[in-house]
Amino acid sequence: MNSVAPTNVNTPMIRNATVSQTFVGGKDNATEAEVSAALSPFHIFNEPWVEANDVSDAVVFLASEESRNLTGTVLPVDLGYLAKY
């Protein structure tokens, strides 16, 4: 079995007031720029999140014939988060 391990994904699950407030120190009505600045340092690429199609591309790859020799793989789609540690 293989799996995909994404970082923050640009979806309503991340892009909402509760999460925004959490990452910008409790500030109400944080702007997109403030949230982006707060989330970007988690990654070595200066981006706050991946797009949903980045994750789906990884899933399609793992479901394809090209990954036939991969077993027990966790494929990070994490903008370099794991490379930092």
Residue located via tokens 């699950």:
13
pLDDT tens, position by position, 41-62: 888 888 899 999 999 999 999 9
d(CA 75, CA 85): 16
How do the domains of the chain map onto residue ranges?
3-84
**Could you tell me the pTM of the whole model?**
0.83
pLDDT tens, position by position, 10-29: 999 988 999 889 989 888 88
Amino acid (1-letter code) at residue 84 = K
Average pLDDT, the chain: 92
Which residues contact residue 18 at a Cβ distance below 8 angstroms, ignoring those fewer than 6 apart?
A: none
